Amino acid sequence: MQGNEMERIISYADALREAMCERMRRDERVFLMGEDVGIYGGTFGVPEGMLEEFGPDRVRDTPISENAFVGAGVGAALTGMRPIIDIMFSDFISVCFDQIVNQAAKMRFMLGKNASVPMVIRLAAGGGTGASAQHSQSLEGLFCHIPGLKVVVPSTPYDAKGLLTSAILDDNPVLVFEQKKLYETTGPVPEGEYAIPLGVADIKRAGKDISIITYGRMVQMSLKAAKRLEKEGIDAEVLDLRTLSPLDTSAVLATAKKTGRVLIAHEAVCFGGFGGELAATIAGSDAFFSLKRPLKRLGAQFCPIPSALEIESAVLPGEEDIFSAAKELCL
């Protein structure tokens, strides 16, 4: 999108709200439920004002029982509704693992054309806020391992609105991980409804010397690192995956072949993280023979996230880590 359509600047949180409101106005089957989404307006302010517009039947405050209301969402989706479920912190998804992994993800396969589960689960994820070990994890990689689920991690307000719209329209369960520090970020977002297809990555910055493959909050850090690298004579390409499952494998391999140097960066713990899947995808393809240096992964240290911001920043990867790793790969 170009021109006047892109001149309006709004926040990531506002973009998510717009996507939900536009769909709810068009389709009475769409409704929102979760803890504090109604009267309180949401922990991070995303559904603020929606209760006043749509009423308590379509913006539903729930008890503090993720297992119960996610299960209710699965049932609602199976009977023709299109629920959007708000999980206050992504960490709490562990409470309702069975409903998502063994029920929502499996129903369409087990029942064939007789059933679909068109539900969206929105999750506030990641660190950077000093919220400590039980409120700061990045768990997206766990769900990429489950057939039947789609996993989305928007990095910009524009992507947040377009990807959430596609998620709501999808007939499968979609998990949308919204990294908390992004809610306050702003960017150009056109008015009116639009959808970004799931499974399509986006080159946020073109370059020829090294590929930084990333998603979510790390995209912004990677772009800042790329500006610094440019001053060092290094032209970095930043590939934003946007959707982890389905993965845009062709975009991953194309950028690896183009630059011959690959840095994979995510906020989640490095060990067992999604970066390992990306590394294996490249290593198992003909892109491997284009590599000029062994690829490198960046992620959080293998420990619970501390609450003290100074220690938390030492555990999580940041702009400086990306800059240093990319520079080293280009030596």
Neighbour tally for 81: CB within 10 Å: 16
pLDDT surpasses 80 at 162: yes
The whole-number pLDDT of residue 97 equals 94
Residues in contact with 307: Cβ distance below 8 Å, sequence separation at least 6, in sequence order: 130, 131, 132, 133
Give, in words, the CATH class of 202-329: alpha beta
SS3 of residue 177 by DSSP: strand
Q: What is the pTM of this model?
A: 0.95
Average pLDDT value over all residues in the chain: 95
Chain segment 101-158, per-residue pLDDT in tens: 999 999 999 988 789 999 999 999 999 899 999 999 999 999 999 999 999 999 999 9
Return the pLDDT at 1: 42
pLDDT for 113 equals: 78
Which residues participate in catalysis according to the annotation? 135
Look at residue 2 in the predicted model and tell me its pLDDT: 44
Tell me the pLDDT band of 281, cut-offs 50, 70 and 90.
very high
**pLDDT bracket for residue 31 (50, 70, 90):** very high
- pLDDT of 55-79, one tens digit each? 999 999 999 999 999 999 999 999 9
**Do 3-188 and 202-329 show the same overall fold?**
yes
The H or E element containing residue 143 is helix 140-144
Q: Is the bond preceding residue 157 a cis peptide, omega within 30 degrees?
A: no
Does residue 113 or residue 81 have the better pLDDT? 81
Annotated domain spans of the chain = 3-188, 202-329
Asked if CATH classification 1.20.1370.20 holds for the domain at 3-188, the reply, yes or no, is: no
Over residues 309-319, the pLDDT tens digits come to 999 999 999 99
What percentage of the chain has pLDDT greater than the value 70? Answer: 98
Q: For residue range 164-188, what is the model confidence (pLDDT) as tens digits?
A: 999 999 999 999 999 999 999 999 9
Pair type for strands 150-152 and 174-179 = parallel
Mean pLDDT of 87-91: 94
Please state, in angstroms and as integers, the Cα–Cα distance from residue 131 to each residue in 33, 116, 152, 216, 327, following that order.
23, 36, 23, 18, 32
* Backbone angle region of 173, left / alpha / beta, with phi > 0 → left and psi within -120 to 50 → alpha: beta
Amino acid at site 246:
P
Quick check: 3 pLDDT over 50? no
- What is the reported pLDDT for 114? 87
The percent of residues in the chain predicted with pLDDT above 90, rounded, is 95
